[in-house]
Amino acid sequence: MIRLKDVRWAYQGGDTAVIDGLDLHIRRGETVVVCGPSGSGKSSALRLMNGLIPHFHDGTLEGEVRVDGAPITDLAQVGRMTGTVLQHPRRQFFTDAIDTELAFALENFGTPPPRIRDRVAEVVADFGLTDLDGRLRELSGGQQQRVACAAAVTHGPPLLLLDEPTSNLSPRGIADLTAILRHVRELGTTVVIAEHRLHYLRELADRIVVLHAGRVAREWTRAEFAGLTDEMLRGEGLRSLDAPERTAVAPAFARGPSVGPAQTSPNETEQAARTTSPGPDADGAGVVLRGIRCAFRGRPALDIAEAHLPVGAITAVTGPNGAGKTTLARILAGLQRHTGQVLLDGRPLSRSRRQRESAIVMQDVQRQLFTDSVTAELRLGATSDHADHATTVLAALDLDGFGDRHPLSLSGGQQQRLVVATARLSGRRIVIFDEPSSGVDRRHLQSMTRTMRDVAEGGAVVVLISHDADLLTLAADQELHLRPIR
C-alpha cells in the first residue's frame, strides 16, 4: 500500500534532513503506529504519504515514495486514496459547519447529492456528532478532533493517516476514538498513526515502527510490543503502555454550575478535602474569579460563581471536552468577553490589563510564532531582566543549538517547547498552558514540568489545562475540575 525507499527530505531553511534514509513498507489493511522522540520525523513521514510533501512544503526530496503503487505526483489521486487527521484539526477545516465539512470531499469528487446526504448522516451517527451544535470554531479542541476524524473517512479512503489524534482528547474521547479506529480497521482500511500516547493502541496496532533521526530504528509486532518493559520504552524515549493513572491533588477553592468534583478516588477524597486550597478571604494573593459567565450564541459555556488560583502554585484545570477549559483560559488572558470580575492580588483587572499581565501557550502553537528564528522568537516576548536566561531555558527544554532555525522548520513538539520557553521568559503574572504536552515525548514532559515550576516559583499564577494524566501527575498542585453545563 505504501512504500518509502531511501527517502531523504530537508525543509527549506532547515540545516539538516528531517527524513534521512527512510525505508518503510506498509501493507494493505495494516494498522501501523509510527512513534519516536520529538523531532524524529513522524509528522514528516505522514506528509510524505499524503502528498503534502513536496506539494505544500518547500524543501528537497530524494528517494522513492509510492502510495498504492503510484508515485505521489498526482495529488488529486492521492487525495482520493487518503484521509488525514492533523494534530491541530482547525488547520484542515474548509467550512464552518459540521455537515458541510463532512460533505466537502464528496462534493469535490462529484458525488451525487443524495449519496452525500446519506453518507453524511451515516458518519454523524457513527461518530456521535449529533450532540454537537454551533460553528466549528466554537467547538472545543477535542470536539474539533472528532469532526476531523469523521471528515477524514467520509469519502471512504483506503488509507487513513492520523497525526497525534489524542493530543486534545479526554479519556472518554480516547475511548471513542479507539472504537472508531477498530471499526475502520475491520473495514480493511490501512491505518497509520503517528503518536506519543501508546496505551490505547496496544490491541490495535499490527506493527510499531520507531523513528530516530528520520529513519527506522526499531520495529515490533503487536506481541513483541505488548511484552516491552517500561524501562525498555523509556530507553527509546517512549511513554508507558499502561493507561496512566492520576495522582490525587487538592481541589481548588471554587464553586458554581461549571465546577465539578475533583477527580480523586474514593479513598483519596477525604485527604484531598483536608488540603483544599484556601479561598480568597484566607489569602488574597493570586487570581480570584467572581461571577464569571460566558455564553456562545445564547448557550452557556462557563459559569463560575467564585474561584481562587493562588500565586506560586500550578492549578490544573481538567474536565471533559466541551466543559469550558479553553474558554476559561481565554477569559484569564483577556481574549474572551464575559460577565463578572477577574481580580489579581485583590485588584480588578480589565480585559486589556489582563492581556498585558498574562502569557498563554495555545493548543496550536504555530499561531504564536511570528519571527524568522528561534532566538528572535524568544527576544520578542522576553522582558529585559529575563532575556539573559534565554540560553539556560533553551538548554533545559532541549532546544540549544536551534537558535538560528526558523521556528516553522521545527517539529511540532519542538515548536511546543519553544512557545513554552517564550512564556517562561515573559515575566507575566498570569501564565496559562493549554494542552502543552501535545507532540511532547516522555523525556520532555519532565523538562516542561520543571519550566512551569520555575514560572510558579517566580511569583506567577500558573494554570495548566490538560487531559494528559502523565503531565498532570508530574505538575499539578491543585485541581479545578470543570463540567459541561446545559
Q: Give the model confidence (pLDDT) of 180-195 as tens digits.
A: 899 889 989 999 999 9
Give the pLDDT band (50/70/90) at residue 59. very high
Last residue of a domain, one of 171, 202, 235: 235
Average pLDDT over residues 241-259: 88
Average pLDDT over residues 229-247: 85
Q: Is the pLDDT of residue 67 over 80?
A: yes
Going by C-alpha positions, the residue among 292, 322, 302, 317 that lies closest to residue 138 is 322
Q: Is the pLDDT of residue 142 over 80?
A: no
Least confident of 225-229, 283-287, 460-464: 283-287
Amino acid 264: pLDDT? 44
pLDDT digits (tens, 9 = 90+) for 424-438: 999 999 999 999 987
Q: Is the pLDDT of residue 34 over 90?
A: yes
Q: Which three cell numbers stand for residue 420?
A: 513554552
- What is the DSSP code string of 290-329? EEEEEEETTEEEEEEEEEEE-TTSEEEEE-STTSSHHHHH
pLDDT digits (tens, 9 = 90+) for 361-396: 998 888 899 999 998 998 887 887 777 788 888 898
Residue whose C-alpha cell reads 517500561 in the numeric block: 230
Give the pLDDT band (50/70/90) at residue 115. very high
Instruction: Indicate whether 319 and 458 sit together in one domain.
Output: yes
240 belongs to a structural domain: no
Q: Is the pLDDT of residue 281 over 70?
A: no
- What is the DSSP code string of 79-93? HHHEEEE-SSGGGG-
Instruction: Indicate whether 60 and 162 sit together in one domain.
Output: yes
Instruction: Indicate whether 100 and 133 sit together in one domain.
Output: yes
Task: Write down the mean pLDDT value for the chain.
Answer: 89
pLDDT digits (tens, 9 = 90+) for 80-93: 999 999 888 888 89
Amino acid 412: pLDDT? 83
SS3 at position 28: coil
Q: Is the pLDDT of residue 178 over 80?
A: yes
Q: Which three cell numbers stand for residue 454?
A: 520555575
**Per-residue three-class SS string for 152-202:** HHCCCCCEEEEECCCCCCCHHHHHHHHHHHHHHHHCCCEEEEECCCCHHHC
Give the pLDDT band (50/70/90) at residue 282. very low
Amino acid 278: pLDDT? 53
Sign of dihedral through CA atoms 332, 337, 340, 345? positive
What is the signed CA dihedral for 95, 135, 147, 294, rounded to 10 degrees?
Answer: 150
Residue 138 lies in domain: 2-235
Instruction: Indicate whether 204 and 121 sit together in one domain.
Output: yes
Average pLDDT over residues 302-319: 96
Average pLDDT over residues 18-28: 95
Amino acid 267: pLDDT? 40
486 belongs to a structural domain: no
Instruction: Indicate whether 187 and 294 sit together in one domain.
Output: no
Amino acid 262: pLDDT? 64
Report the half-sphere exposure of 235 (CA within 13 A, side-chain side): 7
Instruction: Indicate whether 262 and 309 sit together in one domain.
Output: yes
Amino acid 301: pLDDT? 92
Q: What is the CATH number of the domain that holds 229?
A: 3.40.50.300
Average pLDDT over residues 444-457: 92
Instruction: Indicate whether 318 and 449 sit together in one domain.
Output: yes
Going by C-alpha positions, the residue among 446, 288, 468 that lies closest to residue 363 is 468
Last residue of a domain, one of 212, 235, 258: 235
Question: Residue length, the chain?
Answer: 486
Amino acid 466: pLDDT? 93
Last residue of a domain, one of 178, 203, 235: 235
Strand pairing category for 207-212 and 31-35: parallel
Q: Is the pLDDT of residue 74 over 60?
A: yes
What's the number of domains the chain is made of?
Answer: 2
